[in-house]
Amino acid sequence: MKNVKIENLSFAYPDEPEKLVLDHIDLNVEPGDFVCLLGQSGCGKSTFLRLIAGLERPTAGTIKIAGEEITGAGLDRSVVFQDYGLFPWMTAGDNIMLALKQKFPKEDKRKLKETALKMLTEVGLKEEVFQKLPKELSGGMKQRCAIARSFSIDPPYLLMDEPFGALDAVTRAKLQDMILELWAKREPKKTVFFVTHDVDEALLLASRICVFGQSPSKIIYECTIPEEMKPNRETLYEDAEIMKLRTQLIRYINQDVTEHIEP
């Protein structure tokens, strides 16, 4: 069982030990789940993702993957950040190659380049993008590269932190469709943790949605969206059940907002 089991997880940043960011979180995620983590800005979604990535250590509680407690970052978990996380001094291709070399240190370089080029095509980019520096690419293209890098090493767990948050609406829609397609066509399916504050994005992508409350954060609401109920871009605003769920999610996200209005 390659499930991700989070038990009794609490977290405070070491420089502010008295301020609990996450408070007793329990979550068991099955392999192949597409989990959207929804919540207001500042509620601790990125912190939660960083803990699963192994970039922070729990203050209390455990995170186990396939029964093993995680002790740090690993090539089984790839992270896609909102700001793309590409090294600006390297070409798009070299950014992907770097990840590939880490994962397959003994593999022939030409073979790795083939994989990188194939991956670029799969995310809808031309092969010539391989030679371009990130600054020569649009935001959408940079994020496609970052996604190509993540998928190229084929990690069973994919962690995405508001990856489309900085993109315009049309580009965002295209990338949402792309990520769903990439996820759906690979077997076994990757387990995805996808952070967003956009309810419609969560409804379009998720097989499961967890809503985080305000600080200290807990999971205050959870639902699963079975395959047969999953909306597409057209039915998102037509299906009565989805409309009801959207209202419910917005209500949960906003329920304690008045108590936490930022100055």
Ligand X SMILES: Nc1ncnc2c1ncn2[C@@H]1O[C@H](COP(=O)(O)OP(=O)(O)O)[C@@H](O)[C@H]1O
> CA 123, CA 50: separation in Å to the nearest integer?
25
When asked if residue 165 is in the footprint of ligand X (CB under 6 A), the reply is: no
The site map against ligand X for 200-239 (x = CB under 6 A) is: ---------------x------------------------
Footprint of Mg ion on this chain (CB under 5 A)? Answer: 46
> CA 134, CA 151: separation in Å to the nearest integer?
18
The listed partner (Mg ion, ligand X, none) that binds 258, CB under 5 to 8 Å by sort, is none
- Could you tell me where the beta strands, DSSP code E, fall in the chain? 4-11, 22-29, 34-38, 60-65, 68-69, 77-80, 157-161, 191-196, 208-212, 219-224
Greatest CA span in the chain, whole angstroms? 57
Q: What pairs with residue 5 in β-bridges?
A: 28, 64
Q: Candidates 15, 18, 238, 262: give the one binding ligand X (CB under 6 A).
A: 15
DSSP 10-28: EE--TTSTTS-SEEEEEEE
CB of 162 to ligand X, least distance (A): 8
Query: Is the distance from CB of 104 to CB of 130 less than 8 angstroms?
Result: no
Closer to Mg ion at the Cβ: 40 or 191? Answer: 40
CB of 25 to ligand X, least distance (A): 13
> CA 172, CA 170: separation in Å to the nearest integer?
5
When asked if residue 41 is in the footprint of ligand X (CB under 6 A), the reply is: yes
Q: Candidates 27, 43, 51, 141: give the one binding ligand X (CB under 6 A).
A: 43
When asked if residue 21 is in the footprint of ligand X (CB under 6 A), the reply is: yes
When asked if residue 82 is in the footprint of ligand X (CB under 6 A), the reply is: no
Q: What residues line the site for ligand X (CB under 6 A)?
A: 13, 15-16, 21, 39, 41-47, 215
